[in-house]
Chain A
């Protein structure tokens, strides 16, 4: 009974982790891409540098979502509390 409850809570939490954790990075990445497109439209010459910085920035923003993914994966596949 206890183990079943624990598994249930883990699955629900994993879903909630991904759902809530992807909202912030999605908004941030959308904003970053929009700004970068704006900048490229203004200054096509600097497109290379802007793209490079954009990729690095997107990777940094994305890492919070990746943390959530790792937590969710641990809860689902490598849960330390479940026997």
Chain B
């Protein structure tokens, strides 16, 4: 019963191992994108999605002082994927993809690189200066801090989801059928909060490096690229689950 809590190997393709979490996460991505694409065909669902997207976009933009335009679709996509990935574990026979450290690491790496690309596009090479910020002696600590918060991002999601499922499984083993139910309700809350936090932290980390460099108000309107009406494609998939 020991190996059941972690990713199960389904089959081996040479050096590649296909795990159940990989299959579930790919299915989830296809499902989200497909539902979004189908919903955009019909006027009714389309309007619902657009209203939901605009509301969420406004609330995301209000969270940080810098112009987060290019990051909004990423944050909303992360919310949609992580939320559905966390919640799908409640179905019988399906395991949360976020219970696998590999998948949360991939998400954290996306968040890491997106933050740096965002800062680079806003500031050019100048954004590297914030690593020397209090004084150049702090450079190693700043770099370690940058890496450790990416690690923490991956481990936090993994640990929360895995611990929720472990606790439910252990209680089921020890106490019987109905006792794990309240704890599974609690893990619904955890799933929502963790998805929210992952998106918000991505945004905050990306914005913090820009904000530190900018410091002064003129940098804030960041008029380099006007991104207001971002892609229409990735957006609909989000709200299908987020609302």
Residues of A at under 8 Å CB distance from B? 52, 55-56, 59-60, 62-63, 66-67, 69-70, 73, 77-78
Contacts and interface: CB of A to CB of B under 8 A. Distances in A.
A55 B155 contact: no
Contacts of A70: 155, 158-159
Given A56-B204, A69-B163, A77-B5, A63 B156 contact: yes
Interface of B: 2, 5-6, 63, 152, 155-156, 158-160, 162-163, 166, 193-194, 196-197, 200-201, 204
B196 to A, nearest CB: 7
Given A69-B159, A70-B155, A52 B6 contact: no
A73 B163 CA distance: 9
Contact of B200 (A52, A67, A77, A78): A52
B156 A77 contact: no
A62 B6 contact: no
Nearest to B193: A55
A50 to B, nearest CB: 13
A56 to B, nearest CB: 6
Contact of A77 (B2, B158, B196): B2
A66 B196 contact: no
Contact of A66 (B63, B160, B166, B201): B160
B155 A59 contact: no
A19 to B, nearest CB: 15
A7 B6 CA distance: 20
A63 B200 CA distance: 15
Contacts of B200: 52, 55-56
Given A55-B196, A55-B200, A73-B162, A62 B156 contact: yes
Q: Identify the interface centre among B63, B159, B163, B200: most chain A CB within 10 Å of its CB.
A: B159
A59 B2 contact: no
Contacts of B155: 63, 66-67, 70
B204 A77 contact: no
Given A69-B159, A73-B166, 18 more contacts: A52-B200, A55-B197, A56-B201, A59-B201, A60-B152, A63-B155, A63-B156, A66-B152, A66-B159, A66-B160, A67-B152, A67-B155, A67-B159, A69-B163, A70-B159, A73-B162, A77-B2, A77-B6
Contacts of A62: 156
Contacts of A73: 162, 166
Contacts of B197: 55-56, 59
A76 B2 CA distance: 10
Contacts of A78: 6
Nearest to A65: B159
A66 B156 contact: yes
A69 B193 CA distance: 19
A81 to B, nearest CB: 16
Contacts of B163: 69
Contacts of A63: 152, 155-156
